[in-house]
Amino acid sequence: MRKQDTMTTLGSRIKMARGKESQEKFAARLEISKGALGFYERDENLPKSDVILKICAFTGASLDWLLTGAESASREAAHDLAPCLTPANQAEQTAAAAPHESREWSCPQCAELKKRLTALEEERRELCAENRGLWKKVCLLLEGVAGPQERQP
């Protein structure tokens, strides 16, 4: 398997961005459970937009690379996408945020990225709902087609 083939999924890129840091430590930095990180890395679940932004901020990975695997946006060429979450002021923001409140992003770039990711998540949900509806229609049509054939002698 070529190196490029191993980076075809979001989960594999999250794992690569994490590097040698343990899942437990990386998950704690992201303020998620180790299990949730494992689900993301195995492509069994998709992270929310704030988790994606944190991964980019903590690892230096570009958002484009993390989401698409685009070579031109490799970790080495990435710029700081989330200056509001740099290690120097992360503790300050964490202390200011209530435990169950969503974090406000202090830089305009982060706020815009969060807005775009949230819109994409909503679009994905709508497409999934539409897909489920289409599958139900297909099942009903197949039942209708199978029904007359069973009745014929």
Q: Which of 52, 72, 58 is nearest to 116 (CA)?
A: 52
At 70 the pLDDT is 79
Amino acid sitting at position 150: E
Instruction: List the domain boundaries for the chain.
Output: 4-151
* Prediction pTM value: 0.47
At 111 the pLDDT is 76
> pLDDT 10s digit of each residue in the chain, 153 long?
344 445 689 999 999 999 999 999 999 999 999 999 999 999 999 999 899 999 999 888 888 888 888 764 344 434 444 445 444 444 444 444 444 444 555 677 777 888 888 888 999 999 999 999 999 999 999 888 877 665 555
Q: Which is the CATH superfamily of the domain at 4-151?
A: lambda repressor-like DNA-binding domains (1.10.260.40)
* DSSP assignments along 61-76, one per residue: --HHHHHH--GGG-GG
**Token couple for 152:** 């014929």
Q: How far apart are CA 72 and CA 126, in angstroms?
A: 30
At 2 the pLDDT is 42
Cα distances (Å, whole numbers) of residue 19 to 71, 75, 107, 124, 149: 18, 12, 26, 29, 58
